Amino acid sequence: MQAKETLFADLVQGRAQQFQVPLYQRTYSWTEKQLTQLWTDILEQAELLESGEKASTHFLGSVVLAPSPQNEATFPRWLVVDGQQRLTTLSLALAAIRDHIADAEPDEAERIDEEYLINKRRNGDDHFRLLPTQADRAQFAAYVRGPLSAQSAGGSVAAAYGFFRRKLVEAADPAAPQDVFRIEQAITARLTLVAVTAERGDNVHRIFESLNNTGLKLSQADLLRNYLFMRLPTRGEHVYETYWLPLQGSLSNDELEQLMWLQLVLDGDDRVRRQDLYAAQQQRFERGEVSEADIEAYIKELYRRSHLFRRLLHPEEEPDEAVRARLHRLDTWQAQVTYPALMLLLDRRERGELDSADTARAMSYVESFLVRRMMCRVPTNNLNRIFQAVPGQLPLDVPVAEGLHQLLSAENRFWPDDDELREKVRTAPFYKFGRGHQRKMVLQRLEESYEHPEPVDFAAAQLTVEHVMPQSPGDEWIRMLSKDVVDGESAEDLHSRLQHTLGNLTLTAVNSELSNHPFGRKQGLLEGSHLEMNRRIAATQRWGAQEILTRSDELADRAIALWPAPLRGVGRAERSRDWNLAHQVLAALPHGTWTSYGDLAAFIGSGAQAVGTHLANTPGVANAYRVLTSEGKVSASFRWTHQDAGGDVRDRLTADGVRFTASGAADPTQRLSADGLASLVGGGDDDRTDSQEKTAQCAPKSQEGETRADPFYLQLVAENAPGRRFFRQLAEDDSPETVVAVRALFARWEELGGGVYHPDSNKFTGASLTLDEAGIPDRVISPMGLTVGCGLGGTAYVSLQSLAVQEPFTDRVLRAEFLRRLNELEGVDLQEKWPGPDPSFPLSVLEKDRNRELLVETLTWFRDRWEGRDTD
């Protein structure tokens, strides 16, 4: 067995060869967490390349190879015993770079392909340098060779490829662009691997077991502790009992490791990563003669700072009220990224360089920096670097608080000023920014700013974020909004644009009671609230566009007063980052999806017309042609830019898996709404319970990433394998009574002349009730679909967006009547949301005979409307 250090380029470049992942290996399983860490390492190495620093490469891990039984002298084949996750990830990253530059640099894209991804003169499976296990092979091949197919959508391989496409667009931000070829070089020539090559006859499984044993690895803190006490032959016992034992008792091992890292950062090492803590500290000790007294002094200082660090972890231990309040808020925000700056402030206060009032003021700058950036949707990818650099970059010629204010206001820190904050409060979808607890904290601080004489106990109150104008508006809301529309904007577009803005959000403990009711009913509930902001909402006569914008302006004034602004003239973020966010989400559009100008505008807080103008005048935007009108049509003003590939737009969309209805519109079930777009770039989570979250994940996806197979394209089957799978899974999650009820429903539907279609797919287990005309694909309609799985019970859903493009249900009155009839079933309350998820109800309601009869009557009414439509 041979082992040597190598680079990815050295491993895979050269003559034609192949690395095969054996069948017994697990499938590709890296998640965004591992991908994000790798991307951070890659960018760090790319920056080192650009600066010319002679720093060490980054060690990525080991790769264990063994000769394949299929090995040939002219075509070496290797079994990947260990390291397939790393090799697959790096290959997908290079494929993403290739596709990112394909239009602008076709020769370079071809070079990347031939050097790292393919064996140019080989066919079949031999064409690929890396051959994943069979479960991943087809999808990996789709991204390496293309073209993409419907089978390539979804799964970990697709997610990893999409992650890198999105990050490459983010790295090309005009405000701080990064060279894509530096990134390529960092991947291929700065990430080191230890390649362990086994000979024939070596027990490769034993090697694998030794590398992946079940024992717990030593942490960085464990390694450093052992190193320190080996250097204390005479003072070790005293130091251990006096400092280390209390230190170890007050912090967990993970917290202790974090403190050790912070100590390095506070001492000026602004580039060290936590996973390199042991090597970095060891290197510092070995630069010169280090005595036992030096080691003891280090541990003593660690012990002193542990008391300060505990105040970040447990703000209640901070004695000063003002500082304690700010630490509590930062802890609620989960702002661990700011620890270097907070530790510096507490450390300087303990040294007497600033008092508690100045410490609290400096912390208010940190809080404002985070809050304003979140409210203006500034990406968080550089926060670690910003705060880690604070101890080393803090100006020395001004007081600490003023120095921090100046540092955070500097160029490329992107701390939004008052004008930008005011604009974003009016226009941006705040509900989709940040995380649920962060949005809640912003609203809580705004409520506190009213200084009500009887303030709410927020710690005890069970408050959630509520949309005053609901996310699923009824007819009364739509009629009211229709009076506010301008410039040809529809009421639905106006709702989509304003629903998630800060002016339409509040806090309440009666979210379920407020629900989707008209404003008149909500007024009474809000009027009785203890929150001042709710009483002010209740005092208005109506709740339309102007009222929401007026409240937005009021809240913007309060936000500006609460969270200090950056210093003027030091620098502010460029507006281009909003468009960069749009570019990122377009690059991440999954196969078989499209979006509209209005959806993209609502996602970034802009206008549909501005989005259209930007895309028309900006060359090189990935997937720009997949932005259509709200009706699913190519805009009459769409033009390819001179740098784009061109061609027939509909042909390109079809190749990307977008389907078209008989009217020539893109399939509305494949449309991604603003909410769906937010999910592609890790947009803010919401305040749903675990049960609600599982329901959302298991529900049929009409607009959020994974396209549901619909009746136009379902394979006609009776009780075949997919049908058996449907009832088997239904029986696993639902009662026998529900299973019997669903079977009875299917039988009654077939008596009415309908059909039951099951998608032949491992990704989707469900059924659709359908009606067709002589089997013609574009003359098929589905009143209802059913899904099972996820342990939460079966669900029935109505694809209103699909119905809305099929006669006679293009008539909104008929769709509303259909929902009204369904809502007569006990336990059913369906609302139309446009755009939005399909309304649904649990299949368990069909256990009641009366509900089942009402449903059959409703389906009969549906069939009669379909058969009586005008087909001319």
Q: Which of 196-205, 503-512, 854-863 has the highest mean pLDDT?
A: 854-863
The whole-angstrom separation of Cα 492 and Cα 763 is 32
- Tokens representing residue 84 in the block: 């397939």
The whole-angstrom separation of Cα 818 and Cα 797 is 13
Average pLDDT of the segment spanning 707-717 = 31
Average pLDDT of the segment spanning 420-441 = 92
Decide the pairing of beta strands 464-467 and 505-508.
antiparallel
- Tokens representing residue 783 in the block: 């009143």
Spatial CA neighbour of 182 closest among 50, 35, 36: 50
Q: Is the pTM value of this prediction over 0.95?
A: no
For 207-260, the pLDDT digits (tens) are 544 444 333 355 788 778 878 877 887 888 788 889 988 898 899 888 999 999
For the residues of 452-488, what is the DSSP string, one character each? -SS---TTTS--EEEESS-SS--HHHHHHHHTT--TT
Q: What is the pLDDT of residue 7?
A: 92
Q: What is the pLDDT of residue 645?
A: 60
Q: Which of 146-150, 180-184, 281-285, 776-780 has the highest mean pLDDT?
A: 180-184
Using pLDDT thresholds of 50, 70 and 90, give the confidence band for residue 204: low
For 356-392, the pLDDT digits (tens) are 999 999 999 999 999 999 999 888 877 888 899 899 8
Angle (nearest 5°) at CA 71 between 68 and 76: 105
The whole-angstrom separation of Cα 707 and Cα 697 is 13
Q: What is the pLDDT of residue 762?
A: 47
CA distance readout (Å), 204 to 1, 94, 181, 523, 650: 10, 29, 36, 71, 51
What is the chain's alpha carbon radius of gyration, rounded to the nearest angstrom? 30
The whole-angstrom separation of Cα 469 and Cα 478 is 10
Could you tell me where the DSSP H helices lie in 125-176?
A: 134-144, 156-171
Rounded to the nearest 5 percent, the helix, strand and coil shares of the chain are 55, 10, 40
The whole-angstrom separation of Cα 816 and Cα 832 is 8
Q: What is the pLDDT of residue 435?
A: 87
Q: What is the pLDDT of residue 827?
A: 85
* Residue 258, CA atoms < 13 Å, CB-side half-sphere: 17
Q: What is the pLDDT of residue 709?
A: 31
For 75-107, the pLDDT digits (tens) are 999 888 888 999 999 999 999 999 999 988 999
Is residue 143 a contact partner of residue 161, using CB atoms and an 8 Å limit?
A: yes
CA 796 to chain centroid: 27
For 108-138, the pLDDT digits (tens) are 999 999 999 999 989 998 999 999 987 788 8
Q: Which helix (H) or strand (E) segment is 228 a member of? A: helix 220-230
The whole-angstrom separation of Cα 398 and Cα 396 is 6
The lowest-confidence range among 36-50, 256-270, 478-492, 719-733 is: 719-733
Burial class, 4, CB count within 10 angstroms (exposed 0-12 / middle 13-18 / buried 19+): exposed
Angle (nearest 5°) at CA 791 between 787 and 797: 25
Q: What is the pLDDT of residue 55?
A: 67
CA 498 to chain centroid: 22
Q: Which helix (H) or strand (E) segment is 393 a member of? A: helix 390-393
Is residue 819 a contact partner of residue 832, using CB atoms and an 8 Å limit?
A: yes
Residue 126 has a CB neighbour count (10 Å cut-off) of 18
- Tokens representing residue 105 in the block: 């640099």
Compute the mean pLDDT over every residue in the chain, rounded to the nearest whole number.
Answer: 82
Is residue 66 a contact partner of residue 76, using CB atoms and an 8 Å limit?
A: no
The whole-angstrom separation of Cα 451 and Cα 411 is 35
Q: What is the pLDDT of residue 530?
A: 85
Burial 641-671 (b: 16+ CB within 10 A, else e): eeeeeeeeeeebbeebbbbbbeeebbbbbbb
Is the pLDDT at 157 greater than 80, yes or no? yes
CATH of 576-678, one of 3.40.50.150, 3.40.50.300, 1.10.10.10, 1.10.472.10: 1.10.10.10
For 526-553, the pLDDT digits (tens) are 888 889 999 999 999 999 999 999 999 9
- Tokens representing residue 58 in the block: 């980054």
First vs last C-alpha separation in the chain: 76
The whole-angstrom separation of Cα 682 and Cα 678 is 7
Cis peptide before 783 (omega within 30 of 0): no
Return the domain boundaries, the chain.
Answer: 2-211, 220-418, 430-549, 576-678, 707-867
Average pLDDT of the segment spanning 447-468 = 84
| Nearest-10 crossing angle of helices 597-604, 491-498 | 20
Residue 756, helix vs strand vs coil: strand
Cis peptide before 22 (omega within 30 of 0): no
CB neighbour list of residue 397: distance below 8 Å, 6 or more residues apart: none
The whole-angstrom separation of Cα 480 and Cα 838 is 23
Is residue 419 a contact partner of residue 428, using CB atoms and an 8 Å limit?
A: no
For 642-698, the pLDDT digits (tens) are 655 667 888 889 888 888 888 888 988 888 888 778 767 654 444 333 333 333 334
Q: What is the pLDDT of residue 131?
A: 92
> What sign results for the dihedral spanned by CA atoms 713, 716, 722, 723?
positive
In SS3 terms, 76-88 reads as CEEEEEECHHHHH
Spatial CA neighbour of 301 closest among 317, 286, 281, 330: 281
The lowest-confidence range among 569-583, 587-601, 653-667 is: 569-583
For 293-343, the pLDDT digits (tens) are 999 999 999 999 999 999 999 999 999 999 999 999 999 999 999 999 999
Is residue 82 a contact partner of residue 208, using CB atoms and an 8 Å limit?
A: yes
Average pLDDT of the segment spanning 454-479 = 86
| Nearest-10 crossing angle of helices 545-562, 491-498 | 10
- Tokens representing residue 696 in the block: 């959302």
Residue 494, helix vs strand vs coil: helix
The better pLDDT of the pair 801, 686 is held by: 801
- Tokens representing residue 678 in the block: 């937010």
Q: What is the pLDDT of residue 23?
A: 59
Q: What is the pLDDT of residue 825?
A: 92
The lowest-confidence range among 193-197, 468-472, 576-580, 628-632 is: 576-580
Average pLDDT of the segment spanning 707-714 = 30
Q: What is the pLDDT of residue 129?
A: 94
The whole-angstrom separation of Cα 321 and Cα 360 is 9
The lowest-confidence range among 364-368, 548-552, 584-588, 802-806 is: 802-806
Decide the pairing of beta strands 2-7 and 18-20.
unpaired
Q: What is the pLDDT of residue 640?
A: 83
Q: What is the pLDDT of residue 719?
A: 35
Is the pLDDT at 575 greater than 50, yes or no? no
Q: What is the pLDDT of residue 147?
A: 62
Q: Which helix (H) or strand (E) segment is 533 a member of? A: helix 532-538
Using pLDDT thresholds of 50, 70 and 90, give the confidence band for residue 636: confident
CA 169 to chain centroid: 15
The whole-angstrom separation of Cα 213 and Cα 202 is 18
Using pLDDT thresholds of 50, 70 and 90, give the confidence band for residue 701: very low
Is residue 80 a contact partner of residue 87, using CB atoms and an 8 Å limit?
A: yes
